[in-house]
Amino acid sequence: MRRLLRDESGNAITELLAFSPTWLIVFGVFLMNVQLGRNCVQRDVVDHATAIAADIASKTYCQKQGPTPQAAMTAAVTPLLQMASVANNPCTVNATPSGGGGGDPGSIPLTVEMTCSFPCTVPFASHFMCQNGSVNLSAQQTTVAMGCDGT
């Protein structure tokens, strides 16, 4: 009779059911941290790629030969963006004149803008941390193209 009163064979299932939500929450938080880490790296890559594109734009905007500034900027930032995402061409980059040249008649201020849409690939976390299955990032930087005499 004592053995029957001390029977604890059903406790394993009860304890497992009680502890399961905790494991689901811990695993969900882990996945969200993975997605957050990916988004932080992608944010840094977009900022760095915008700086590279601004440098390329300032050097190629006024040239009369060679690749267009758009093609040169895209070619310069594509390898960097491929490290941040497996998506093919997730970003667009544009350089537009942003006003008068100030004191130097051969200078043109430029605004370089990069807009990216990276797909969210981490299961579960992408439903809570991304909109429509992707994260949209943008960056902007100003520069001055020199040597634009006669353009």
> Could you report the per-residue pLDDT of 18-60, keeping only the tens digit for each?
788 888 899 999 999 999 999 999 999 999 999 999 999 988 8
Rounded to whole angstroms, the Cα distance separating 99 from 53 reads 19
Which residues are 97's β-sheet partners?
110
* Residue 6, pLDDT above cutoff 70: no
With residue 135 as reference, give the H or E element that holds it. Answer: strand 134-145
Which has more confidence, 86 or 29? Answer: 29
Query: What pLDDT, on the 0 to 100 scale, is given for residue 151?
Result: 47
Q: Rounded mean pLDDT of the chain?
A: 85
> Concatenated DSSP letters for 13-68?
HHHHHHHHHHHHHHHHHHHHHHHHHHHHHHHHHHHHHHHHHHHHHHHHTT-SSSS-
109, two tokens: 């201020």
pTM above 0.95, yes or no: no
Choose the weakest-confidence range: 30-44, 76-90, 114-128.
Answer: 76-90
Q: Reduce the DSSP state of residue 113 to 3 states and report it.
A: strand
Query: What pLDDT, on the 0 to 100 scale, is given for residue 8?
Result: 63
Rounded to whole angstroms, the Cα distance separating 54 from 122 reads 32
Average pLDDT of span 95-120:
82
* Residue 4, pLDDT above cutoff 60: no
* Residue 69, pLDDT above cutoff 80: yes
